[in-house]
């Protein structure tokens, strides 16, 4: 029997990452669930999947910290013997007028949303190069494509992730490693907790498909990009956004 493929999902205790982890596990992947702070949430999620007989492991790491990331990759290889797919999902958001963004806000945004992508990708790619195969999937945002007022720092790093994806796809293509990006639209998760009901209604009404996105809309894109069906796709941005950005 063919050995199962292994995926690492960062920031996977809740929201989009959690749905991605669950969908991959249900589809036969070994899944390393990374989380940072929410120990109880992460452990409950892990136990739920494990009791269903799914192949999962749990690892606490701040993915903005290189040492912790390297240890996480070593742990994953010890558990599952391989890493086939990395999903750089972990991230934070912050809504603030540009003139009010402090140096700490800026650094925090870059650290959690962009340095994390660099560290996880470089650490995993060292292993993937030796295997001459692998898939990296980065989670950006529509705001990285078109920019959002009051989220300049968030938009900037998410745009950076798109540039990172395209450049790395060119460098790693000849080594049979694919690098793609998902730029979700407005997806119903904790990240929207500061939006009012009226805001959400307005956003939904301004979406051609007349609804906000679900975590499943994003997870299905990730499952496709990781699959053999996407073997000729690299350096691309796929944007599940209901037509909000066309």
Shortest CB 115 distance to ligand NAD, Å? 8
- Which CB, 134 or 184, lies closer to ligand NAD? 184
- Among 29, 35, 46, 154, the one annotated catalytic: 154
- Which CB, 129 or 192, lies closer to ligand NAD? 192
DSSP string, the chain: -PPPPEEEESS-SSHHHHHHHHHHHHTT-EEEEEESS-HHHHHHHHHHHHHTT--EEEEE--TTSHHHHHHHHHHHHHHHS---EEEE---------GGG--HHHHHHHHIIIIIHHHHHHHHHHHHHHHHT-EEEEEE--HHHHH--TT-HHHHHHHHHHHHHHHHHHHHHGGGTEEEEEE---SB-SGGGTTS-HHHHHHHHHTSTTSS-B-HHHHHHHHHHHHSGGGTT--S-EE--STTS--
**Cβ-closest position to ligand NAD:** 15
Shortest CB 69 distance to ligand NAD, Å? 9
Task: Please confirm, yes or no, whether 154 is among the known catalytic residues.
Answer: yes
- Which CB, 167 or 245, lies closer to ligand NAD? 245
Binding site residues, ligand NAD, CB under 6 A = 10-11, 13-17, 34, 36-37, 62-64, 89-93, 112, 116, 139, 141, 184, 186-187, 189-192
- Which CB, 14 or 211, lies closer to ligand NAD? 14
Shortest CB 220 distance to ligand NAD, Å? 14
Shortest CB 188 distance to ligand NAD, Å? 7
The residues annotated as belonging to the active site are 154
């Amino acid at each position: 029997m063919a050995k199962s493929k292994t995926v690492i999902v960062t920031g996977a205790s809740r929201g989009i990452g959690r749905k991605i982890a669950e969908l991959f596990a249900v589809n036969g992947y070994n899944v390393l669930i990374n989380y940072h702070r929410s120990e109880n949430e992460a452990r409950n999620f892990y136990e739920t999947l494990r009791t269903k007989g799914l192949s999962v492991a749990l690892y606490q790491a701040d993915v903005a910290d290189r040492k912790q990331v390297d240890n996480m990759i070593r742990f994953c290889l010890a558990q599952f013997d391989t890493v086939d797919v990395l999903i750089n999902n972990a991230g934070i958001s912050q809504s603030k007028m540009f003139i009010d963004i402090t140096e700490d806000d800026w650094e925090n945004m870059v650290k959690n949303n962009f340095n994390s992508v660099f560290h996880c990708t470089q650490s995993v790619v060292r292993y993937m190069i030796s295997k001459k195969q692998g898939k990296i999937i980065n989670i950006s945002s529509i705001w990285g494509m078109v920019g959002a007022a009051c989220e300049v720092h968030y938009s900037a790093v998410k745009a950076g992730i798109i540039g990172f994806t395209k450049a790395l796809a060119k460098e790693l293509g000849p080594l049979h490693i694919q690098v793609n990006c998902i730029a979700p639209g407005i997806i119903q998760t904790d990240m929207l907790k500061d939006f009012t009901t009226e805001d959400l209604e307005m956003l939904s009404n301004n979406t051609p498909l007349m609804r906000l996105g679900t975590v499943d809309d994003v997870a299905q894109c990730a499952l496709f990009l990781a699959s053999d069906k996407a073997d000729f796709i690299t350096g691309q941005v796929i944007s599940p956004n209901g037509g909000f950005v066309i």
